[in-house]
Amino acid sequence: MSWQDALNAQVRNGRNACRALARAGTEQKNCFLSALGERLRQMTPDILKANAADVAAARRRNISPALIDRLILSAPRIEAMVRAVSEIRVLEDPVGRVLWETVRPNGLRIRKVSVPIGLIAIIYESRPDVTVEAASLCLKAGNAVLLRGGKEASRTNRILAEALKRSLEDASLPADGASLVLAGGRRAVRHLLTREGEIDLVIPRGGESLISTVTRLSRIPVIKHYKGVCHTYVDRAADIGMALAVSFNAKVQRPATCNATETLLVHQEIAGAFLPRMAEKFREAGVRMKGCPAARRLIPEAEEATEADWSTEYLDLVINIRVVPDIDAAIDHITRYGTRHSEAIISQDKNAAAQFLRDVDAACVFHNASTRFTDGGQFGLGAEIGISTDKIHARGPMGLNELTIYKYVAYGNGQVRS
C-alpha cells in the first residue's frame, strides 16, 4: 500500500469514527479520560524508554538543545500530563448546549445546539505532551483527531497514541477516534491539507513557519495561533507603583510565553518619572532594553531599537521601550506592530482606558492588569488548545467550547413553505 493510500484510509477511518464520538455521552467520554490517565501511569516505563530513544536519535542528529528540551519527557512530566487529562475530565461537556431557541409563527420550533466539529487534524512539532493534551480536548468535545507530530518524537508519540487508542476501547469508543499520522513524512502534511470535506479543521501548533506553511497549503479551514507581540501602555494618568509592578510582571514573570509583553509604550508626560525607576527594576532582573531616542535619553544603557525590533517576539528577557506623545500614538503603534494577541493599558483615567479597550483590535485587552493573564486557566475557561490570533470562530484562549460548532434542529408538524 502506498503512503497516500495508507493516509487516505486513516482519514476515512477517522471520519467514520465521528458519528459514534458525536453521540457519546459525557460519562462515556469521561470514562475514556479516566482510562487514559491510568494507562499513562501504567505505561510510564515504556513511554520513558521510547522517549529516551527519540532523544538519543535527536542528539545524534545534532538537533538544537531548545528542541531537545521540548522533546524530553520525565516521570514528573508524565504525571503533569495525567493531571492535565484529569482536569479536562472535570470540565463541563461542551456538546448539546442549547445556544438559542425560537418558535416561529408557523409553529416550527428551532433550536441551535452545540455539536462536535468532526475530524480535526493537529499538526505540531516536537512536544509529545501535545499528543495527549490536544487529543484529550478534541475527544472530550466529541471530535475525532488526527495527530501529526514531529518526526523527532515519533517513538514517544507511537506509545502515547497506543494509550489513546486502548483507552478509547476501554470506554467502548472507536479506536480510530485518535490516530497518529506516521506515513509519508513531510509530504503527508501537504496531502492531509487537501482532504477538504473529510477533515473539518486543521490546528497547527508550533512556530511561525509551520503555521504559515500550513495556511498556505491548506484547503481546509485552519485556526492559527500565531506569535504574540504584546504591548503594555503606561498612560500619563497611570499609578506609577502599579505601572512598575504590572509592566515588570508582563515582561519578566515568564518571558518565553506568547502573552509576555515585548514592548512598553510610555506617555511622554510620565516618562521622566516612570522610566528611570522601571529601568532599574529591569536592570536588576537582567532585562536587555532597546529604546527610541526619547527613551534612551532617560535610560542611558538602552540600545537603539531598530524598525525590525518593534515587530519582534523576543520570548526572552529583552524589551523595547518607546515614548509616545499621547494615547492615540500608542494605539497606532499597536495597530501597526501588534499581532492582535494581548494588549494592556495602565491608567487611572477611565476615559483613556475605555478608548484603549475599545479601539485596540486584539483578542484580549487589559486595563490595569498584566498581559500574562491571557490563558484559558486564568480566564476560568479550563484547558486550552492554544490562543487563537484569528478573527473567525475562536479568538484568544481556545477551550472546549471552541472545539464545537452548532447545528439547527427544527421540529415541525408538517410545515411547508409558501
Contact 203, 125 (CB under 8 A): no
How many angstroms separate the CA atoms of 62 and 114, rounded?
47
Only segment of 42-50, 84-92, 180-188, 409-417 that touches its own copies (CB under 8 A): 409-417
- What is the number of other CB atoms lying within 10 angstroms of the CB of residue 367? 14
Q: Which of 51, 249, 261, 312 binds its own copies (CB under 8 A)?
A: 249
How many angstroms separate the CA atoms of 206 and 152, rounded?
14
Place of cell 477516534: 177
Q: How far is the CB of 416 from its own copies (least distance, A)?
A: 4
Q: Which of 49, 219, 277, 283 binds its own copies (CB under 8 A)?
A: 219
- Does residue 98 touch its own copies according to CB under 8 A? no
Query: Which is closer to its own copies, CB of 112 or CB of 288?
Result: 112
Q: Which of 7, 11, 17, 18 binds its own copies (CB under 8 A)?
A: 18
Which are the contacts of 223, defined by CB distance < 8 A and separation ≥ 6? 201, 202, 203, 386, 388, 390, 393, 394, 398
E strand residue ranges, 25-165: 98-103, 109-116, 119-124, 144-148
What's the number of CA atoms in the CB half-sphere (13 Å) around residue 160? 28
- Does residue 336 touch its own copies according to CB under 8 A? no
- Does residue 82 touch its own copies according to CB under 8 A? no
What's the number of CA atoms in the CB half-sphere (13 Å) around residue 149? 27
Q: Which of 35, 171, 239, 286 binds its own copies (CB under 8 A)?
A: 239
Query: Which is closer to its own copies, CB of 273 or CB of 410?
Result: 410
Contact 54, 149 (CB under 8 A): no
DSSP secondary-structure letter at 377?
Answer: T
From residue 175, alpha-carbon distances to 17, 123, 151, 178, 327 in Å are 8, 20, 22, 6, 55
The site for its own copies, by CB under 8 A, has a size of 70
Q: Which of 245, 294, 315, 329 binds its own copies (CB under 8 A)?
A: 245
Only segment of 156-164, 213-221, 267-275, 293-301 that touches its own copies (CB under 8 A): 213-221
- Does residue 418 touch its own copies according to CB under 8 A? yes
Only segment of 4-12, 180-188, 195-203, 304-312 that touches its own copies (CB under 8 A): 195-203
- Does residue 141 touch its own copies according to CB under 8 A? no
Which are the contacts of 325, defined by CB distance < 8 A and separation ≥ 6? 268
- Does residue 176 touch its own copies according to CB under 8 A? no
What's the number of CA atoms in the CB half-sphere (13 Å) around residue 19? 3
Q: How far is the CB of 8 from its own copies (least distance, A)?
A: 16
From residue 147, alpha-carbon distances to 7, 92, 338, 401 in Å are 12, 24, 31, 20
Only segment of 68-76, 152-160, 240-248, 318-326 that touches its own copies (CB under 8 A): 240-248
DSSP secondary-structure letter at 199?
Answer: B
Q: Which of 1, 90, 308, 416 binds its own copies (CB under 8 A)?
A: 416
- Does residue 308 touch its own copies according to CB under 8 A? no
Virtual torsion, Cα 55, 61, 66, 69, nearest 10 deg:
0
Which are the contacts of 306, defined by CB distance < 8 A and separation ≥ 6? 290
Look up residue 204 and give its three cell numbers: 497547527
Only segment of 63-71, 267-275, 311-319, 362-370 that touches its own copies (CB under 8 A): 362-370
- Does residue 277 touch its own copies according to CB under 8 A? no
- Does residue 55 touch its own copies according to CB under 8 A? no
Q: Which of 4, 42, 102, 172 binds its own copies (CB under 8 A)?
A: 102
Q: Which of 242, 315, 317, 318 binds its own copies (CB under 8 A)?
A: 242
Residues near its own copies (CB under 8 A)? 18-19, 22-23, 102, 104, 108, 110, 115, 117-118, 196, 200-201, 215-216, 219, 221-223, 239, 242, 245-246, 248-250, 253-254, 335, 357-359, 361-370, 372-374, 378-380, 390-393, 395-397, 405-418
